[in-house]
Amino acid sequence: MDIPMHIIAYIETAFPSKFGIPRQSGLVPSLRGTIVFVPEYRNPDAVRGLESYSHLWLIWQFSKSFKNGGSEGGWSPTVRPPRLGGNKRIGVFATRSPNRPNAIGLSSVEIESIEYSADRGPLIHVLGADLLDGTPIFDIKPYLPFTDSHPDARGGFADEKKDYALTVSDPDNLLTVLSEEDRAAVTEVLSEDPRPSYQSDPDREYGMEYGKWEIRFIVNDARGTLVVTEIQKRTI
């Protein structure tokens, strides 16, 4: 049975590539994104009343990881979550891995503001998104705290890793070229450790794209410290 799915919008974020994107929505609350509807759905009436909510659910497509409803190499019943070091297998439905039978993601984001543009229709500015720039969105639903929030729920293996964070060091003040807003967001992203968990080479330099910048860094796992080594404008 064919189930039609329509892309209603795309999101604009500071992440042109997957490396560095937070592993969950809300982990970096200061990250900004903008939801832009496709022409067919740019009707202001469609978002009437949305301003009375504080958060949204986004249902979206893993557009860079999948082809036609499955991963490029085919789906697997088990995956290796990065936070478990990439060497322990867990059932795919016990994770939020993108390597799923269907290329669908779910994120909870905060509404920062709603703007009405003459040429692009309603624009929803959000905080805390964990999406690649240009990600297609299938649906938007309001977050209902009285039913969607479960403070006493168990979080499985993710609970064991939720407090993990690196101390970010910028000894040469390289990040001062960023705006104060972007500097805060980048620092939070780096503290979440963008590296694949199976990589722990202290001499390896990593690069993360953020907006028009490429930020390079090294990590000292023994000290739990990430050191910014270089920042330069990307060649686009």
- Domain extent for 54: 9-65+103-148
Question: Is residue 221 domain-shared with residue 166, that is, in the same domain?
Answer: yes
CA–CA dist 108, 56 (Å, integer): 6
Shared domain check, 162 and 144: no
Q: Are residues 108 and 13 in the same domain?
A: yes
**Is residue 54 pLDDT above 70, yes or no?**
yes
Q: What is the mean pLDDT of the chain?
A: 89
Same domain for 166 and 144: no
Question: pLDDT tens, 2-42?
Answer: 888 899 999 999 999 999 999 889 999 999 999 999 999 99
First to last CA, the chain: 42
- Looking at the structure, tell me whether residues 59 and 132 fall in a common domain: yes
Give the residue-averaged pLDDT of 185-213.
Answer: 87
Q: What is the CATH classification number for the domain harbouring 58?
A: 2.40.30.70
Residue the block writes with tokens 């504080």: 54
SS3 124: strand
Average pLDDT over residues 77-103: 84
In a domain, 61, yes or no: yes
pLDDT digits (tens, 9 = 90+) for 106-115: 999 999 999 9
195: domain CATH number is 3.30.2310.20
Task: Tell me how many domains the chain contains.
Answer: 2
Q: What is residue 198's predicted lDDT score, i.e. its pLDDT?
A: 62
Question: Residue 202 above 90 pLDDT?
Answer: no
151: left (phi over 0), alpha (psi -120 to 50) or beta: alpha
Q: What is the pTM of this model?
A: 0.89
Q: Based on the domain organization, do 138 and 163 belong to the same domain? A: no
129 and 228 within one domain: no
Do residues 17 and 51 both lie within one domain? yes
Q: pLDDT for 32-48, tens place per residue? A: 999 999 999 999 999 99
Looking at the structure, tell me whether residues 40 and 112 fall in a common domain: yes
The whole-angstrom separation of Cα 105 and Cα 148 is 17
Q: What is the pLDDT of residues 142-161, one digit of tens each?
A: 999 999 999 999 988 777 66
- Residues 228, 132 within the same domain: no
